[in-house]
Amino acid sequence: MTDELDELKAALRALPAADPAAKADAIALAMKKFDALQGSRAAPRPSQDRQKQAGFLNGVRNMLNSLTSRGALAATTSVAALCLGLIVVLPTLNQPEPAVIALPEADDARTRRVPTPEVAATDEPEPMVQPNEPNLAGRIAKTAVPEAGTIVLQDAPAEGFAEAAPAGSVLSAEAEMRTEASAPDILQQGYASATAQPESDFNQTVLPVETTEAFPNADANPVKVTAEEPVSTFSIDVDTASYAVVRSSLMAGVLPPPGAVRVEEMVNYFPYAYPAPDQADAPFRSTATVMPTPWNPGTRLVHIGLQGRLPALADRARLNLVFLIDTSGSMDEPNKLPLLKQSLRLMLAELRPDDEIAMVAYAGSAGTVLEPTKARESATILAALDNLAAGGSTAGAEGLALAYGVAVTMGGDGEVSRVLLATDGDFNVGIDDPDGLEAYIAKQRDTGIYLSVLGFGRGNLDDATMQALAQNGNGTAAYIDTLNEARKVLVDQLTGALFPIANDVKIQVEWNPAAVAEYRLIGYETRALNREDFNNDKVDAGEIGAGHSVTAIYEITAPGSVALRNDPLRYGTAADFEGQIAELGFLRLRYKSLGQAASKLIETPIAQGGPANDDARFAAAIAGFGQLLAGSVYLNDWGWDDAITLALGARGEDAFGYRIEAVNLMRMAKTLDTR
């Protein structure tokens, strides 16, 4: 090979000067072939079907094959160098103006200026796609770049259109929906949108590299001295969103953000077999268990459990449900709108025939896509659900107002009306004042309409806003990351998620200074209440759904324990307080019956004894799991292996596999934790 190259070099050096006429003929022939390869055909060609002779390099190759003389070889070498210089220099001489694309918005057209991307030196023009418009490739059926700085619609019709759209025209809203429903062939031939996501299973977790996620920011509850602050007050919480967010992070191979870890929501994710109340009793029953603290032998855990009554199916009130569905562009990912549709399908099968469903969608502007319809008309409901497509910005405030308006028209005496907001939480239009939005939601709850929130997807999950909306709307917040989670929340726990049995449930514990020197409430940081709020019926608190259980855990320290974290007071000791040592504290509960403005009080002493069962010990393991993720300073040397051992030993009956899943997540977290 080296000899042949040496011979070629020697031959080139020995060449005579090129004949001017032959050189001109060669340049003309080369330019003719070059020009024949420029421009675009009537419609972009599928790359795998392009003609064998197409392409600039193939043209040069054919030209060389057709010119065999040494003189022609030298001439074409000069032409190739000239063409290369033109390709490099020309783009810098004239920068095109930004293109203007006309897009539909509701019934009016709008224009958006999009910088024209550079066209690569290939024979196939790529379609121009705005990165923040996931459905632009669906709206513009086929694109071409006939000259710099312009983008037009081609004459070829998109799939589903009766006739072709003229060049430069704007698709109607109806045509846009049809284009969204059936992507044109061009998307199947490698011309996918720049933001298109690969197909994935709904149980697969993939986290984006860059996120704009927001979580409630609250410091962990500190250790408090009983003599100084003997009363602890908080609102109950039956949300489960935090556990599912933690799981999605760990399954993606990363530790969750500390702000995403709310220990009480992790503990309350699991069902527990607490004793249920009798039908004649209050809507829920409380129990208290005391056990040694796994991570601190000098303290004990006080485990408080509430179990809600589960009424018979025949006694369940009729449900009026408004699906408020986020169809903004940010929902155009497999684990968002497609998973949302599948999740609501699962729930529809659990509703009774006389339950009523309405549907409101919002993106840019809000609209009713399904008028109130009986659940028995499942085909109509599913058709409206299937027709939803993602695109546009997120007008969350407008959607909420419309959904509440629809819910008001559906309500009746003895019925339960609820707005179910399904979103990734990316409220970017119409919410200039989050506090004002929370006040609006709080005002709406006076109408008796509940608001619950289902979160989907990661990357721009606004968990903080979703939590605030649910808490102010007398509702719950859950995060759906898999179809299994959708089944748990919307099928297995449907009655608890949608049918309340008590409103504004508050817990207050007065600790006995003679038996408890220090205490710490584990979790519930975002649910804390002032002491005086307990007796104030105007202060909102959490709701308990039918069959729901609620768990709260305190870590307490006895007087004189080596685990005390605070020095004794100079002018007071535990002996200064009267009280029975056998009584650790006094538990008070307040709640409102449905439709009532005045609360009722339940009081129960917390005794010293009582063996810990599997439920209490497993709850303690999950509380430790959450604290390990959050980097708690109260766990001493207790670590992942200890949490795994405790959870496995307290697994008990695990019919749905939730507890063993938690153990596997602990193992994953142990592997990922390099702190």
Mean pLDDT of 560-566: 92
Give Cβ neighbours of residue 541 (< 8 Å, ≥ 6 apart): 235, 236, 503, 504, 505, 506, 529, 590
Q: Give yes or no for residue 342 having a pLDDT over 90.
A: yes
Please write the tens of the pLDDT for every residue from 593-606. 988 999 999 999 99
Angle at 668 between CA 666 and CA 673, to 5 degrees: 90
Distance CA 425, CA 612 (A): 40
Angle at 216 between CA 215 and CA 218, to 5 degrees: 130
Range in 364-373, 499-508, 630-639 the model is least confident about = 364-373
Task: Check residue 439 and give its pLDDT.
Answer: 80
Nearest to 152, CA basis, from 138, 137, 136, 168: 168
Range in 49-58, 506-515, 544-553 the model is least confident about = 49-58
Task: Check residue 180 and give its pLDDT.
Answer: 36
Tell me which range, 209-213, 315-319, 518-522, is most confidently predicted by mean pLDDT.
518-522
Take residue 166 and report the two structure tokens written for it.
């003229």
Q: b/e map of 452-491 (b: 16 or more CB within 10 Å)?
A: bbbbbbbbbbbbbbbbbbbbbbbbbbbbbbbbebbbbbbe
Nearest to 224, CA basis, from 546, 613, 446, 556: 556
Give Cβ neighbours of residue 641 (< 8 Å, ≥ 6 apart): 670
Angstrom CA distances, 507 to 497, 623, 628, stand at 21, 19, 26
Task: Check residue 153 and give its pLDDT.
Answer: 30
- DSSP E strands: which ranges in 74-226? 99-105, 108-114, 143-144, 152-153, 224-225
Distance CA 159, CA 502 (A): 53
Burial class (CB in 10 A: 0-12, 13-18, 19+), 58: middle
Give Cβ neighbours of residue 434 (< 8 Å, ≥ 6 apart): 465, 468
- 579 — alpha (psi -120 to 50), left (phi > 0) or beta? left
Q: Where is pLDDT greater, at 273 or 125?
A: 273
Angstrom CA distances, 260 to 98, 240, 420, stand at 42, 11, 22
DSSP, res 569: P
Distance CA 45, CA 415 (A): 59
Token pair 């949108």 is found at 193
Mean pLDDT of 230-234: 97
Distance CA 654, CA 644 (A): 16
The model's confidence at residue 460, banded by pLDDT at 50, 70 and 90, is confident
The model's confidence at residue 509, banded by pLDDT at 50, 70 and 90, is very high
- Averaged confidence pLDDT in the chain: 76
